[in-house]
Amino acid sequence: MLEKTDPLRAFITLVLAVILAVLVGWILVVGRSVLMPIFIAVISVYVLLTASEALGRLPVLGRLPEWMRRGLVLAIFVLALVMLASVMVGTAEQVIARLPVYQKNLTDMLTGILSRFDIEEIPNLSTLVETLWGRINLQRLAAVSLGSVGSLAGIIVMAVVYSTFLMAERGGFARKIAAALPRDRASQTHTIVRDINRSIGEYLAVKTFVNVILGALSFVVLKLFGVDFALFWAVLIGLLNYIPYVGSLMGVMFPVLLTLAQYGSLQTTLLVAVLLTSAQMWVGNALEPRMIGRRINMSPFVVLVSLALWSSLWGIPGAILAIPLTSIIAIIMANFESTRPIALLLADDVQAVLHNGEEEER
């Protein structure tokens, strides 16, 4: 009788898990505007708390009270977001002003390339742009653009508000768990939260530091060649580097295309592309593996699948949050015997998951 009930129980568990996954996916899509700022705030708090702990290890700042260190880190975080928003707005205005110059440079470059092949009838890029321009619904395009900017601003504001309250209430979280759950459940929940804090906090803090280094190197390269809006592109490269595999390619592509439009020179564009790619390769292949190591225990295939899944749900913000969110799910699954096989399938180092499971059983 036992042999028949076990497969049936496993099948029922599988069906319920599939239904739960579909329901969660539907909630994530429908509640995107509400859930995204919360998730961004939670991920931001991990970085802020890790930075606060790092300040506590410094000679002078370590003497400050914990609440003061957290307030200092939070103030720096808010200031960085304000500066980022100002850079984005200022850059958008300057790009619009320089569009005619970029158009002329591209036209001259196209003319020079076609003339080398003795093509007499050279297409007029200006005529082509004017023809296409008349077919564009400017009112609709402006409405969509303003709506996207307004939505992004709202998400950032709500994420800052949530982060502030989460930082303030973090101290009483452990007491709430102890009061709300039985002793064994409270201990298990503490273990899960501890593992998530250690894994995600360290990963995000080190990843942020690595991205700052990459952004600084990219800024030096772009500034050296006089590329327009070097600060904006350096910030964008650092942000997109949170996205595994494809983020670095996207980060290099945009400033390289601008360099082509600015100078109309293939030689200069190729040189900028080589230097930016070299910085990306050094950070991705040498610096980042040495500093991050295996703080996130996920196989490369799972990373790609999670990237595709979260980006399809939430776009670029989902792609940036894909690794931390999937890692949180894997850590939670690894702490329960019924879902541990799924965590083993997600992991890159299976022995680490088994070792943690044995410690939990003890």
Cα-Cα-Cα-Cα torsion 96, 99, 100, 102, nearest 10 degrees, comes to: 160
Per-residue burial over 326-348, b = 16 or more CB atoms within 10 Å of its CB, e = otherwise? bbbbbbebbbeeebbeebeebbe
Q: Which two tokens stand for residue 176?
A: 């709430």
Q: Measured between alpha carbons, how far is 105 from 268 in angstroms, rounded to an integer?
A: 13
Q: For residue 346, what pLDDT is reported?
A: 78
DSSP 8-state secondary structure symbol assigned to residue 244: T
Asked if residues 37 and 159 have their Cβ atoms less than 8 Å apart, the reply is: yes
pLDDT string in tens for the chain (362-residue length)? 444 456 777 677 778 877 887 888 888 888 887 888 888 888 888 778 777 887 888 787 778 887 788 888 888 888 887 777 777 767 766 766 777 777 677 777 776 666 666 655 545 555 555 555 445 444 454 445 444 545 565 677 777 788 878 877 766 666 666 666 666 666 777 777 777 777 777 787 788 888 999 999 999 999 999 988 888 889 889 888 888 878 888 888 888 988 888 887 888 889 999 999 999 888 887 777 776 655 667 778 888 888 888 888 888 788 888 888 888 888 878 777 777 787 787 777 776 666 665 555 55
CB under 8 Å, gap of 24 or more: what pairs does 334-341 form? 334/195, 335/188, 335/191, 335/192, 335/195, 335/360, 338/13
Please write the tens of the pLDDT for every residue from 199-224: 777 787 788 888 999 999 999 999 99
Q: Measured between alpha carbons, how far is 272 from 315 in angstroms, rounded to an integer?
A: 28
HSE (CB half, 13 Å, CA atoms) of 357? 19
In angstroms, the Cα distances linking 103 to 26, 132, 137, 263, 266 are: 44, 14, 21, 11, 15
Q: For residue 131, what pLDDT is reported?
A: 54
Q: For residue 139, what pLDDT is reported?
A: 45
Asked if residues 95 and 229 have their Cβ atoms less than 8 Å apart, the reply is: yes
- Among 344, 345, 346, which residue's Cα sits nearest to residue 355? 344
Q: Measured between alpha carbons, how far is 220 from 233 in angstroms, rounded to an integer?
A: 11
Q: For residue 2, what pLDDT is reported?
A: 43
Q: Measured between alpha carbons, how far is 85 from 232 in angstroms, rounded to an integer?
A: 10
- Dump the DSSP string for 102-164: HHHHHHHHHHHHHHHTT-SS---HHHHHHHHHTTS-HHHHHHHHHHHHHHHHHHHHHHHHHHH
Q: For residue 133, what pLDDT is reported?
A: 45
